[in-house]
Amino acid sequence: MTCLLLEELDSSDLNWLVQAAVYRSVPAETLLVDSDQPSDHVFLILEGMVAIAAPIRQEAIAYSSKKPSSAESGEISWTITTLSQILPGDFASLATILDSRSLPYSVISESPCQVLCIPRAVLLQKLQEDASFASRFYRTVALLMSARNRRLVREFEYQNLPIRRSPLRQSITLFAELQDSDLDWLATVGMVQSLPAQTVLLSTGRSPDALHIVLEGALLLSQPVEMSSLIAQTLAPAENPSAPHQEIARLSRGDLVGEMQLVNAHDLTLCASALRDSQVLSIPRWRLAAKLLHDPSFAARFYRVLATLLATEYEAMLHQLYAATLGSADERTELMGDRDDLSSRLLTRISLAEARFEWLLKRIQAQQENGRDLQW
């Protein structure tokens, strides 16, 4: 079995992780991350099986390097509903470094495990100071989250559950995370395309040749209901235009099309088409690949965006799976709390994202009026 972590990180990255972390042997049924408390460590699972489980309502002892006092010791009673698993070579408590919302679920060892406990503050400092490490690390996290999402999608298919996706946070994450210089580069190398209604931008079975940012209008992201023969649907000379598709999401201003193929080249099941007359900014895939290779700081920010988007998608699917397998909507709402409230921080990010998006539109307009020189 291949390990994404070993494939993506180089020897110096792995050496740093070993030196910065504390190695622990963890017994089965140990609480690594409490649903009620943000973790100050990121856990790299080396061996064993770890579960993301429905919240534990009984009092439990959070795992730490300190031995529990006599008052804390005693048999722990668990109420566990496993929603997903974290495999060896993957991280637990990633929300603490992706600046996303902590999951309202617990992370528990299902078997005896070996883990590396990496202090969150130390890892964040390394990510801020070493752009090359950050670019490789965030790319690895994006790949790991993509693999998690594929496993959850198979679970949804097994239970015959629809996947509901909201792209609201996609544009917020993209334009709040990238810098002005990044957006300037995207505007410079990108090409504006006008899409009449019903135009297919991304075809099922075909790898996208560009990353697209929706500037105006709305796009429908869908996939065929019947996926029995992907190659036949792609290459058959007489494609059936009425073949049923399942809606995945509706994309609007600031949303991305084709970004997930950057971390999962084998995902060719999606189709994107214009719901009405629309405009997109298309960045050629080869230009983006070259930029990611030669500009570590840009790569770190870009892969962080992808990792955060995938983590948000994973969180949304966990909530849906939890709703389908455990309790009522009222019970779930009580558990999760008002997690989508417009906090002051979220409002600030929305404001920043909107301002940067408007700046991008003006930059593109100015380039169209005055001509432009392509840059790397």
* Tens-binned pLDDT, residue by residue, of the chain (376 aa): 468 899 999 999 999 999 999 999 999 989 898 877 778 999 999 999 999 887 544 444 444 444 444 444 444 444 567 888 999 999 998 888 886 566 678 899 999 999 999 999 999 999 999 999 999 999 999 999 988 988 887 877 767 666 665 554 577 788 888 899 999 999 999 999 999 999 999 888 788 889 999 999 999 988 777 655 666 666 665 445 556 777 888 899 989 898 877 777 666 678 899 999 999 999 999 999 999 999 999 999 999 999 988 888 888 888 888 877 655 444 444 444 444 445 566 677 788 888 888 899 988 888 877 765 444 4
Rounded to two decimals, what is the model's pTM? 0.83
Q: What are phi and psi of 65, to 5 degrees?
A: -80, -10
Tell me if 234 sits within 8 A of 155, measured CB to CB: no
CA-based end-to-end distance of the chain: 38
pLDDT for 181: 92
**Among 343, 86, 262, CA closest to 95:** 86
Torsion on CA atoms 274, 275, 276, 282, rounded to nearest 10 = -20
Beta-strand runs (E) in the chain: 22-26, 31-33, 41-47, 50-53, 82-86, 91-92, 106-109, 113-119, 191-195, 200-202, 210-216, 219-224, 245-251, 256-257, 271-274, 278-284
pLDDT for 269: 75
pLDDT for 332: 46
pLDDT for 59: 45
List strands edge to edge, sheet with 219-224.
Answer: 200-202, 271-274, 219-224, 245-251
pLDDT for 333: 44
